[in-house]
Structures are given as structure tokens and as C-alpha cells.
């Protein structure tokens, strides 16, 4: 199974799901990561505000930050290689990268962008 590493921008807490103005995307992402962990995925998550050395000590992440800056975070590595930058992955991307089944199991509260008419 693949190892998934997420390098978050500076967040108020380890998940970013805190404070009064919670980003809904972070709520869904936290649920997706928990789903992946419960299914045996190897997941590591680093917060720039709380674990800056993890960013500085990884040559791939350090080079990314030097080229793109911290505004380009989050950065997702799969087995040490860049898989995604600038947004959080979907559950199906996480499932594909970690070779998990159940990619279609959407987190609670997630909505399709189709509008419900079966158009997709």
C-alpha cells in the first residue's frame, strides 16, 4: 500500500477543522482521511504552523516551497513523489493512490455537483 503525506498550509490546529469560520472542504477532507486510515491506509499529515521542520527536512517539499511558496499548499505526496498541489484530494483520488476499495463512499454531507437529476 502507498504512503500518503499531506503538507498543509499553516492551520489553527492539526486538521484545520477548528475555530469559528471552518472551511467545509477541510471538513470533508478530514472525513476522507479518517475513512482511509480506518481502511488501513498509511497517512502522514503535517501542518506548517505546528511542524515546520517536517517541511524543511523533506527535500521534495522544501524545493516545492522554494519554487511555489506556501500559498501553493496543500501539497500531497504519494510514496515521496508529488501527486497534487494547491487543493485537497477527493476521496476517489485518495482511494486510488492508496489502492483502497470503496472510493464511491462519499463522506456524510457531501453533495454531487450534478444537481440530482441523474445528468452525470
At residue 114, the pLDDT reads 37
- DSSP element (H, E) containing 32: helix 24-38
Angstrom distances, CA of residue 53 to CA of 43, 49, 57, 64? 18, 10, 6, 15
d(CA 95, CA 60): 23
Q: Is 17 exposed, middle or buried (0-12, 13-18, 19+ CB in 10 A)?
A: middle
At residue 25, the pLDDT reads 83
What predicted TM-score, i.e. pTM, was given to this entire model?
0.78
Show the CA angle centred on residue 25, arms to residues 45 and 106, nearest 5°. 90
Mean pLDDT rounded to a whole number for the chain: 82
**pLDDT digit string, tens, across residues 34-61:** 999 999 999 999 999 999 999 999 999 9
Q: Is 27 exposed, middle or buried (0-12, 13-18, 19+ CB in 10 A)?
A: middle
Torsion (CA) 117, 112, 81, 76 in degrees, nearest 10 = 160
Rounded percentage of the chain residues whose pLDDT exceeds 70: 74
Q: Which residue has the higher pLDDT, 98 or 109?
A: 98
Amino acid at each position: 500500500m502507498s504512503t500518503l503525506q499531506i503538507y498543509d498550509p499553516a492551520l489553527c490546529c492539526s486538521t484545520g477543522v477548528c475555530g469559528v469560520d471552518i472551511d467545509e472542504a477541510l471538513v470533508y477532507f478530514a472525513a476522507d482521511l479518517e475513512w482511509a486510515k480506518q481502511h488501513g491506509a498509511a497517512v502522514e499529515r503535517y501542518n506548517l504552523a505546528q511542524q515546520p521542520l517536517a517541511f524543511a527536512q523533506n527535500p521534495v517539499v522544501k524545493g516545492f516551497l522554494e519554487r511555489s511558496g506556501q500559498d501553493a499548499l496543500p501539497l500531497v505526496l504519494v510514496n515521496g513523489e508529488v501527486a497534487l498541489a494547491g487543493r485537497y484530494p477527493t476521496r476517489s483520488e485518495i482511494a486510488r493512490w492508496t489502492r483502497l476499495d470503496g472510493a464511491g463512499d462519499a463522506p456524510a454531507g457531501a453533495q454531487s455537483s450534478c444537481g440530482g437529476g441523474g445528468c452525470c
